[in-house]
C-alpha cells in the first residue's frame, strides 16, 4: 500500500512526512541496512509517523482541523526538514525493535530524601527510555513531551 504523503497543506489521510525513496536515500547516506521489502519499510514509516504525532506536543497550531499529522503548523511553513529526518530516524529504530508505544506501569519503589524533602513513588522519573536521536531533531518544535517541561514565567 503506497504511502499518503503530507504535502504541507494539512492532508486529512496522510500517513507519512517522507516518501519511501526519501527514507531510502536518508538511510543510505548513514550506512543503514533497511528492510529489503518496501512494504515493511512503509509500515515502519507509518508507525514512526504515528509516534511523532502522538508522543510529543508541538508549539503552534495545526493549519487544518482535520489534518492527520501534527505538521504543518502555523509557526513553520510546510514540513520542516528536521521533522522528516526525525521520522526516518524513528522508522529505523522501529525496524531495530523499538516500540514507540510500549507501555509500563510507571511506578518505582525508590525514595529520595534530601534534607526535609522526600520524593518517591509517582513523582520520580520512570525508567521509560528516551529517544535522543529523535528528540534532538524535535527540540526546536516542542512545547513539551517525554523528558521536556515547558516553563512559562507567570
The string of pLDDT tens digits covering residues 109-134 is 566 666 676 666 555 444 445 788 89
pLDDT over 60 (residue 96): yes
pTM, full prediction = 0.79
Domain ranges of the chain: 1-154
Residue 75 and residue 119 in contact, taking contact as beta carbons nearer than 8 Å? no
Give the model confidence (pLDDT) of 60-86 as tens digits: 999 999 999 999 999 999 999 999 999
pLDDT at 146 over 90: no
- From residue 85, give the alpha-carbon distance in Å to each of 32, 101, 104: 14, 20, 27
Output the nine-digit C-alpha cell for 10: 494539512
Average pLDDT, the chain: 86
Amino acid at each position: 500500500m503506497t504511502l499518503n504523503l503530507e504535502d504541507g497543506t494539512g492532508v486529512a489521510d496522510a500517513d507519512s512526512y517522507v516518501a519511501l525513496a526519501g527514507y531510502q536515500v536518508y538511510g543510505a547516506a548513514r550506512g543503514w541496512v533497511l528492510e529489503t521489502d518496501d512494504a515493511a519499510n512503509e509500515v515502519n514509516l507509518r508507525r514512526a509517523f504515528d509516534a511523532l504525532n502522538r508522543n510529543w506536543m508541538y508549539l503552534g497550531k495545526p493549519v487544518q482541523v482535520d489534518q492527520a499529522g501534527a505538521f504543518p503548523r502555523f509557526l513553520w511553513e510546510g514540513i520542516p526538514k528536521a521533522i522528516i529526518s526525525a521520522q526516518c530516524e524513528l522508522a529505523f529504530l522501529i525496524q531495530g525493535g523499538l516500540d514507540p508505544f510500549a507501555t509500563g506501569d510507571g511506578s518505582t519503589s525508590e525514595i529520595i530524601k534530601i534534607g526535609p524533602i522526600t520524593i518517591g513513588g509517582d513523582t520520580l522519573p520512570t525508567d521509560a527510555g528516551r529517544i535522543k536521536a529523535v528528540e534532538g531533531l524535535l527540540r526546536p518544535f516542542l512545547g513539551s513531551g517525554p523528558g521536556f517541561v515547558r516553563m512559562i514565567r507567570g
